[in-house]
Amino acid sequence: MTERRLTAEIHRRLPSFTLDLSLEVGQEVLVLFGPSGAGKSMTLESIAGLVTPDRGEILMDGRLLFRRRPGLTHVDMPVRKRGVGYVFQNYALFPHLTVLGNVRYPLGREARAQERALSLISQMGLGPLADRFPHQLSGGQQQRVAIARALARDPEVLLLDEPFSALDPGLRERLRGDLRALQLERGLVVICVTHSIEDAIALGDRVAVLRDGGLEQVGAVGEVFRRPSGASAAEVLGIRNILYAHVSSATADRITLDWDGVALQAPAQPFSLKESVPVYVAPEDVKLLYPDRPVLGGLAANQLAATVTRVESLHGMRIIKVRLDNGHELEARGADYYYQELDLRPGAPVRITLRQEGVRILHEKGS
């Protein structure tokens, strides 16, 4: 069976920014990630047919859903015919309809509508609640009803706008798993808007970083969060350890950066001769050193004195924040077991190293 594929080119001028982007999404979960007002929800609404772009083109498996281009016939397929399911941020359930009524609503007077709705309700674990009204449901139950309703017409595309924002952490985790199972089972094209890094990593196959209506970066979730394409993308993603330094020297195999009096060695890479350039070091590439152990390879070059300011443990990882002698702070991340013998109390002096291959100059779009 040919894989489903959605392509969207959307241009829409708004009072505060212009939405201008192109996306191609297969049978996967693409996460739209960005600050409020970046154009994430507008992108979903354009694909669903709830708003009309000023120009562009949207296709599903080559089937034209929308087109507005000079010299070409204007196409704007009605919402009901697009094969798109939409879960709104506030779920938008009809308060006067029961669970069954809400899920059945998109099916109208279709034959077997009742049977289809009851089947979806059962699949979502809502069977005993079919006769309840939205105000009688928990947040998680309301979300399941909204998803069942979105799936009622057997869509090819499922759009999710902040689907977990009102849920507690445990419920978020369970429902992320349910959504992932649904996507795989049905071969859906899923586009999910979120502000949550945890949701993006747990649910997404790829992430598209939006800012001011444009795409900063698109790629596999792990790659984008570990290797942001530029300082702007890193800022949107809330990534730590963005440094501003200038290149003091360069050879064929490495460059030397001056970071407010601290010399850092980095692998050879393109760089700008601007006064300062943004540099990124992933927290996993910042290592705290044991004083009685040898330092080898790429960890030997960038050794610095620091002071521990804060320590947290999360899912078997130790998150350590340190302050350097030049006043800047860095974040290090590593397995709990690796650091269990180090004195990591706030105020404790430590030596750290920045893995040489992990020191990367960030480049902005068009630079």
Indicate the pTM of the whole model. 0.79
HSE-up of 287 (CA within 13 Å, CB side)? 21
Identify the weakest region by mean pLDDT among 75-79, 94-98, 173-177.
173-177
Confidence of residue 274 (pLDDT cuts 50, 70, 90): low
- pLDDT for the residue 227: 83
Confidence of residue 160 (pLDDT cuts 50, 70, 90): very high
What is the arithmetic mean of pLDDT over 30-51? 95
Residues in the chain: 367
d(CA 19, CA 56): 11
- pLDDT for the residue 366: 46
What is the arithmetic mean of pLDDT over 340-346? 89
Q: What is the pLDDT of residues 66-80, one digit of tens each?
A: 999 999 999 999 999
Sign of CA dihedral 288, 293, 299, 301: positive
- pLDDT for the residue 364: 57
Is residue 255 pLDDT above 70, yes or no?
yes
Helix (H, G, I), strand (E, B) or coil at 22: strand
- Sketch out the chain's domains with CATH numbers: 6-83+155-236 (3.40.50.300), 240-361 (2.40.50.100)
Is residue 186 pLDDT above 60, yes or no?
yes
Helices 139-150 & 113-123, crossing angle to 10 degrees? 140
Identify the weakest region by mean pLDDT among 7-16, 120-129, 180-189, 290-299.
290-299
Nearest C-alpha neighbor of 265 from the set 311, 237, 299, 236: 299
